[in-house]
A and B are shown apart, each in its own frame.
Chain A
Amino acid sequence: MFEKGIVMSKLILASHGSLAEGMKSALKMILGDTVQAEAFGLDKWEQPQAIMEQIQKLREEAPEEEFIILCDMKGGSVCNRMVELCSEPNVCVISGMNLTLAIGLAMMPPGVKCSEMKAELFEEARDGIEYFDSAVVGGLKEEEEDDLW
Protein backbone atom coordinates (compact mmCIF):
# COMPACT_ATOMS: atom_id res chain seq x y z
CA MET A 1 0.00 0.00 0.00
CA PHE A 2 2.24 2.79 1.23
CA GLU A 3 6.01 2.70 1.24
CA LYS A 4 7.70 1.98 4.50
CA GLY A 5 8.80 5.07 6.32
CA ILE A 6 5.98 7.21 5.01
CA VAL A 7 4.11 8.88 7.83
CA MET A 8 0.41 8.21 7.80
CA SER A 9 -1.72 10.55 9.81
CA LYS A 10 -4.86 10.05 11.82
CA LEU A 11 -7.26 12.93 12.29
CA ILE A 12 -8.96 13.12 15.66
CA LEU A 13 -11.70 15.61 16.47
CA ALA A 14 -12.28 16.45 20.13
CA SER A 15 -14.82 18.87 21.55
CA HIS A 16 -17.44 19.99 24.05
CA GLY A 17 -21.00 18.79 23.38
CA SER A 18 -21.26 16.88 20.11
CA LEU A 19 -19.38 19.33 17.92
CA ALA A 20 -16.72 16.73 17.10
CA GLU A 21 -19.25 14.15 15.91
CA GLY A 22 -21.12 16.88 13.99
CA MET A 23 -17.89 18.03 12.39
CA LYS A 24 -17.17 14.47 11.31
CA SER A 25 -20.63 14.23 9.78
CA ALA A 26 -20.05 17.49 7.87
CA LEU A 27 -16.65 16.23 6.69
CA LYS A 28 -18.27 13.08 5.35
CA MET A 29 -20.93 15.07 3.57
CA ILE A 30 -18.33 17.15 1.77
CA LEU A 31 -15.51 14.68 1.19
CA GLY A 32 -17.50 11.45 0.92
CA ASP A 33 -17.89 8.45 3.20
CA THR A 34 -14.30 7.35 2.81
CA VAL A 35 -13.02 10.20 4.95
CA GLN A 36 -11.03 8.93 7.93
CA ALA A 37 -11.54 10.72 11.22
CA GLU A 38 -12.31 9.81 14.82
CA ALA A 39 -14.66 12.03 16.79
CA PHE A 40 -14.90 12.45 20.55
CA GLY A 41 -17.38 14.89 22.11
CA LEU A 42 -18.08 15.38 25.79
CA ASP A 43 -21.80 14.62 25.34
CA LYS A 44 -20.81 11.01 24.85
CA TRP A 45 -17.48 10.76 26.67
CA GLU A 46 -18.37 12.96 29.67
CA GLN A 47 -14.81 13.60 30.83
CA PRO A 48 -11.80 14.91 28.89
CA GLN A 49 -9.87 12.19 30.73
CA ALA A 50 -12.00 9.50 29.02
CA ILE A 51 -11.25 11.00 25.61
CA MET A 52 -7.56 11.11 26.42
CA GLU A 53 -7.55 7.46 27.45
CA GLN A 54 -9.35 6.46 24.30
CA ILE A 55 -6.84 8.30 22.16
CA GLN A 56 -4.01 6.66 24.07
CA LYS A 57 -5.50 3.28 23.18
CA LEU A 58 -5.60 4.26 19.50
CA ARG A 59 -1.98 5.35 19.79
CA GLU A 60 -0.97 1.93 21.01
CA GLU A 61 -2.68 0.35 18.01
CA ALA A 62 -0.93 2.65 15.55
CA PRO A 63 2.32 3.88 17.08
CA GLU A 64 3.79 4.75 13.66
CA GLU A 65 1.05 7.16 12.69
CA GLU A 66 1.03 10.86 13.29
CA PHE A 67 -1.95 11.84 15.45
CA ILE A 68 -3.46 15.19 14.62
CA ILE A 69 -5.92 16.18 17.34
CA LEU A 70 -8.19 19.04 16.33
CA CYS A 71 -9.90 20.60 19.38
CA ASP A 72 -12.81 23.01 19.50
CA MET A 73 -11.40 25.75 21.74
CA LYS A 74 -8.04 26.88 22.98
CA GLY A 75 -8.04 26.87 26.78
CA GLY A 76 -11.12 24.63 26.93
CA SER A 77 -10.98 21.59 29.19
CA VAL A 78 -10.83 19.15 26.25
CA CYS A 79 -8.01 21.00 24.55
CA ASN A 80 -6.08 21.40 27.80
CA ARG A 81 -6.22 17.68 28.38
CA MET A 82 -5.30 16.84 24.79
CA VAL A 83 -2.24 19.08 24.97
CA GLU A 84 -0.90 16.70 27.62
CA LEU A 85 -0.70 14.06 24.90
CA CYS A 86 1.82 16.22 23.04
CA SER A 87 4.56 14.93 25.30
CA GLU A 88 4.47 11.81 23.12
CA PRO A 89 6.21 11.76 19.76
CA ASN A 90 4.04 12.06 16.63
CA VAL A 91 1.18 13.82 18.37
CA CYS A 92 0.10 17.36 17.65
CA VAL A 93 -2.87 19.34 18.89
CA ILE A 94 -4.59 22.15 17.00
CA SER A 95 -7.21 24.40 18.59
CA GLY A 96 -9.98 26.43 16.91
CA MET A 97 -11.86 23.69 15.09
CA ASN A 98 -13.76 24.77 12.02
CA LEU A 99 -14.90 23.01 8.86
CA THR A 100 -12.38 24.62 6.53
CA LEU A 101 -9.52 23.56 8.79
CA ALA A 102 -10.94 20.06 9.27
CA ILE A 103 -11.22 19.62 5.48
CA GLY A 104 -7.66 20.81 4.99
CA LEU A 105 -6.36 18.35 7.58
CA ALA A 106 -8.45 15.47 6.25
CA MET A 107 -7.09 16.09 2.74
CA MET A 108 -3.41 16.23 3.68
CA PRO A 109 -1.46 14.03 1.28
CA PRO A 110 0.02 10.88 2.86
CA GLY A 111 3.63 11.28 3.88
CA VAL A 112 3.28 14.92 4.79
CA LYS A 113 3.59 15.97 8.40
CA CYS A 114 1.11 18.38 9.90
CA SER A 115 3.89 20.77 10.91
CA GLU A 116 4.84 21.18 7.23
CA MET A 117 1.31 22.09 6.19
CA LYS A 118 0.09 24.07 9.15
CA ALA A 119 0.97 27.57 7.97
CA GLU A 120 -0.92 27.07 4.71
CA LEU A 121 -3.92 25.37 6.35
CA PHE A 122 -4.23 28.00 9.09
CA GLU A 123 -4.14 30.81 6.56
CA GLU A 124 -6.91 29.19 4.55
CA ALA A 125 -9.01 28.66 7.69
CA ARG A 126 -8.51 32.25 8.83
CA ASP A 127 -9.44 33.52 5.36
CA GLY A 128 -12.65 31.58 5.68
CA ILE A 129 -13.83 33.85 8.49
CA GLU A 130 -15.57 36.79 6.88
CA TYR A 131 -18.39 39.24 7.44
CA PHE A 132 -21.19 39.74 4.92
CA ASP A 133 -24.12 42.13 4.94
CA SER A 134 -25.93 44.10 2.27
CA ALA A 135 -23.24 46.79 2.15
CA VAL A 136 -20.43 44.26 1.77
CA VAL A 137 -22.25 42.24 -0.87
CA GLY A 138 -23.12 45.46 -2.71
CA GLY A 139 -19.42 46.33 -2.74
CA LEU A 140 -18.53 42.92 -4.12
CA LYS A 141 -20.56 43.59 -7.27
CA GLU A 142 -17.96 46.10 -8.32
CA GLU A 143 -15.25 43.47 -8.35
CA GLU A 144 -14.70 42.64 -12.01
CA GLU A 145 -12.62 39.51 -12.73
CA ASP A 146 -15.11 37.43 -14.59
CA ASP A 147 -13.03 35.67 -17.20
CA LEU A 148 -11.33 32.34 -17.73
CA TRP A 149 -7.92 33.52 -18.79
Chain B
Amino acid sequence: MVSLLRIDERLLHGQVAVTWVSNVQASSILIANDEVMGNEMSKMALKMAKPSGMKLAIRSVDDGAALLNDPRSEKIGIFVIVRTIADAVRLCKQTETVKKVNIGGIKKREGCKLVAAAVHVNEEDVENLKELDKLVDSIEFRMVPSDSAKTLEDVLKNF
Protein backbone atom coordinates (compact mmCIF):
# COMPACT_ATOMS: atom_id res chain seq x y z
CA MET B 1 0.00 0.00 0.00
CA VAL B 2 1.41 3.35 -0.95
CA SER B 3 1.11 5.78 1.99
CA LEU B 4 2.27 8.78 -0.02
CA LEU B 5 4.04 9.68 -3.24
CA ARG B 6 6.44 12.57 -2.74
CA ILE B 7 7.80 14.64 -5.61
CA ASP B 8 11.13 16.10 -4.52
CA GLU B 9 14.08 17.28 -6.58
CA ARG B 10 16.47 16.03 -3.89
CA LEU B 11 14.79 12.62 -3.60
CA LEU B 12 15.55 11.17 -0.15
CA HIS B 13 17.27 13.63 2.17
CA GLY B 14 17.30 14.56 5.85
CA GLN B 15 14.11 16.59 5.81
CA VAL B 16 12.10 13.86 4.12
CA ALA B 17 13.63 11.12 6.24
CA VAL B 18 12.92 12.97 9.47
CA THR B 19 9.55 14.59 8.92
CA TRP B 20 7.53 12.73 6.30
CA VAL B 21 8.59 9.21 6.95
CA SER B 22 7.63 9.46 10.62
CA ASN B 23 4.40 11.24 9.69
CA VAL B 24 3.01 8.68 7.25
CA GLN B 25 2.55 5.03 8.12
CA ALA B 26 5.37 3.47 6.16
CA SER B 27 7.91 0.75 6.74
CA SER B 28 9.53 0.96 3.32
CA ILE B 29 10.78 3.65 0.96
CA LEU B 30 10.85 3.34 -2.82
CA ILE B 31 12.92 5.79 -4.84
CA ALA B 32 11.86 5.64 -8.48
CA ASN B 33 14.33 7.49 -10.68
CA ASP B 34 16.07 6.56 -13.92
CA GLU B 35 19.18 8.76 -13.60
CA VAL B 36 20.12 7.47 -10.17
CA MET B 37 20.18 3.90 -11.47
CA GLY B 38 23.25 4.70 -13.55
CA ASN B 39 25.11 6.50 -10.78
CA GLU B 40 26.55 4.30 -8.04
CA MET B 41 27.71 7.24 -5.93
CA SER B 42 24.31 8.87 -5.73
CA LYS B 43 22.76 5.49 -4.99
CA MET B 44 25.17 5.12 -2.08
CA ALA B 45 24.37 8.59 -0.78
CA LEU B 46 20.66 7.82 -0.88
CA LYS B 47 21.22 4.58 1.00
CA MET B 48 22.98 6.57 3.71
CA ALA B 49 19.97 8.83 4.06
CA LYS B 50 17.74 5.86 4.84
CA PRO B 51 16.22 6.10 8.32
CA SER B 52 17.26 3.16 10.47
CA GLY B 53 14.81 0.29 10.69
CA MET B 54 13.30 0.98 7.28
CA LYS B 55 13.62 -0.86 4.00
CA LEU B 56 14.77 1.03 0.94
CA ALA B 57 14.51 0.07 -2.72
CA ILE B 58 15.98 2.17 -5.54
CA ARG B 59 14.58 1.46 -8.99
CA SER B 60 13.96 2.98 -12.39
CA VAL B 61 10.48 4.50 -12.75
CA ASP B 62 9.23 1.50 -14.73
CA ASP B 63 10.70 -1.09 -12.37
CA GLY B 64 9.37 0.93 -9.44
CA ALA B 65 5.84 0.66 -10.80
CA ALA B 66 6.30 -3.10 -11.19
CA LEU B 67 7.45 -3.33 -7.58
CA LEU B 68 4.36 -1.46 -6.39
CA ASN B 69 2.13 -3.79 -8.40
CA ASP B 70 3.64 -6.82 -6.69
CA PRO B 71 0.99 -8.31 -4.34
CA ARG B 72 3.50 -8.25 -1.47
CA SER B 73 3.42 -4.45 -1.62
CA GLU B 74 -0.24 -4.38 -0.59
CA LYS B 75 0.56 -5.55 2.93
CA ILE B 76 3.11 -2.91 3.86
CA GLY B 77 3.19 0.90 4.01
CA ILE B 78 5.37 2.34 1.26
CA PHE B 79 6.61 5.91 0.94
CA VAL B 80 7.43 6.56 -2.72
CA ILE B 81 9.71 9.35 -3.96
CA VAL B 82 10.18 10.60 -7.52
CA ARG B 83 12.11 13.62 -8.80
CA THR B 84 9.70 15.24 -11.26
CA ILE B 85 6.01 15.62 -12.02
CA ALA B 86 6.60 13.90 -15.36
CA ASP B 87 8.06 10.88 -13.53
CA ALA B 88 5.05 10.85 -11.21
CA VAL B 89 2.72 10.72 -14.21
CA ARG B 90 4.77 7.96 -15.80
CA LEU B 91 4.69 5.96 -12.58
CA CYS B 92 0.97 6.45 -11.91
CA LYS B 93 0.08 5.39 -15.45
CA GLN B 94 1.64 2.02 -14.69
CA THR B 95 0.20 1.46 -11.23
CA GLU B 96 -3.06 2.28 -9.49
CA THR B 97 -1.53 1.96 -6.04
CA VAL B 98 -0.80 5.69 -5.64
CA LYS B 99 -3.68 7.71 -4.14
CA LYS B 100 -2.04 10.67 -2.41
CA VAL B 101 0.66 12.92 -3.82
CA ASN B 102 2.76 15.50 -1.98
CA ILE B 103 4.89 17.97 -3.90
CA GLY B 104 7.78 19.36 -1.91
CA GLY B 105 10.51 20.74 -4.14
CA ILE B 106 10.95 21.25 -7.85
CA LYS B 107 13.95 23.15 -9.13
CA LYS B 108 13.90 26.28 -11.24
CA ARG B 109 14.26 25.83 -15.00
CA GLU B 110 13.59 27.88 -18.16
CA GLY B 111 10.10 29.37 -18.24
CA CYS B 112 9.34 28.45 -14.65
CA LYS B 113 7.20 30.20 -12.10
CA LEU B 114 7.35 29.78 -8.34
CA VAL B 115 3.88 28.52 -7.39
CA ALA B 116 4.42 27.13 -3.87
CA ALA B 117 7.30 26.94 -1.39
CA ALA B 118 10.32 25.72 -3.41
CA VAL B 119 8.06 24.51 -6.23
CA HIS B 120 8.86 25.91 -9.69
CA VAL B 121 6.67 24.82 -12.59
CA ASN B 122 6.60 25.50 -16.34
CA GLU B 123 3.87 24.92 -18.97
CA GLU B 124 4.81 21.30 -19.36
CA ASP B 125 4.65 20.71 -15.59
CA VAL B 126 1.18 22.28 -15.48
CA GLU B 127 -0.04 19.90 -18.19
CA ASN B 128 1.51 17.01 -16.30
CA LEU B 129 -0.11 18.17 -13.05
CA LYS B 130 -3.53 18.15 -14.70
CA GLU B 131 -2.88 14.67 -15.99
CA LEU B 132 -1.60 13.49 -12.60
CA ASP B 133 -4.75 14.87 -10.99
CA LYS B 134 -6.81 12.43 -13.07
CA LEU B 135 -4.66 9.50 -11.99
CA VAL B 136 -4.67 10.02 -8.21
CA ASP B 137 -7.14 11.04 -5.49
CA SER B 138 -5.34 14.06 -4.09
CA ILE B 139 -2.40 16.38 -4.75
CA GLU B 140 -1.00 18.79 -2.17
CA PHE B 141 1.96 21.15 -2.06
CA ARG B 142 4.12 21.57 1.06
CA MET B 143 7.68 21.00 2.18
CA VAL B 144 7.13 19.54 5.65
CA PRO B 145 4.04 18.17 7.42
CA SER B 146 3.90 21.15 9.80
CA ASP B 147 3.47 23.63 6.90
CA SER B 148 -0.06 24.33 5.68
CA ALA B 149 -0.76 22.62 2.37
CA LYS B 150 -1.62 24.33 -0.90
CA THR B 151 -4.03 22.64 -3.28
CA LEU B 152 -3.63 22.11 -7.01
CA GLU B 153 -6.28 24.78 -7.49
CA ASP B 154 -4.18 27.34 -5.53
CA VAL B 155 -1.15 26.48 -7.58
CA LEU B 156 -2.86 26.69 -10.97
CA LYS B 157 -4.23 30.08 -9.96
CA ASN B 158 -0.69 31.27 -9.23
CA PHE B 159 0.65 30.14 -12.58
- A: residues with CB less than 8 A from B are 29-35, 103, 107, 124, 127, 132, 137, 140-141, 143, 145-149
A contact patch SS: loop
Could you tell me the distance in whole angstroms from the C-beta of B127 to the nearest C-beta in chain A?
A: 30
A34 to B145, CA, bound (A): 10
Q: What are the residues of chain A within 8 A of B56 when measuring CB–CB?
A: 145-146
Query: Contact flags (1/0) for B66-82 with A, using CB distance below 8 Å?
Result: 01000011001010000
Closest to A106 in B: B18
- B: residues with CB less than 8 A from A are 14-15, 18-19, 22, 28, 30, 40-41, 44, 47-48, 52, 55-58, 67, 72-73, 76, 78, 143-147
Could you tell me the distance in whole angstroms from the C-beta of A6 to the nearest C-beta in chain B?
A: 20
Could you tell me the distance in whole angstroms from the C-beta of B19 to the nearest C-beta in chain A?
A: 6
Q: Is the CB of B14 within 8 A of A34?
A: no
Q: Which are the 8 A-B pairs with shortest beta-carbon distances?
A: A32-B144, A32-B146, A148-B28, A34-B146, A30-B15, A148-B57, A149-B72, A140-B44
Closest to B144 in A: A32
A32 to B67, CA, bound (A): 32
A52 to B111, CA, bound (A): 52
Partner of A148, one of B14, B78, B145: B78
A103 to B18, CA, bound (A): 8
Closest to A26 in B: B14
Partner of B15, one of A29, A124, A137, A141: A29
Q: What are the residues of chain A within 8 A of B72 when measuring CB–CB?
A: 148-149
A94 to B146, CA, bound (A): 26
A146 to B73, CA, bound (A): 14
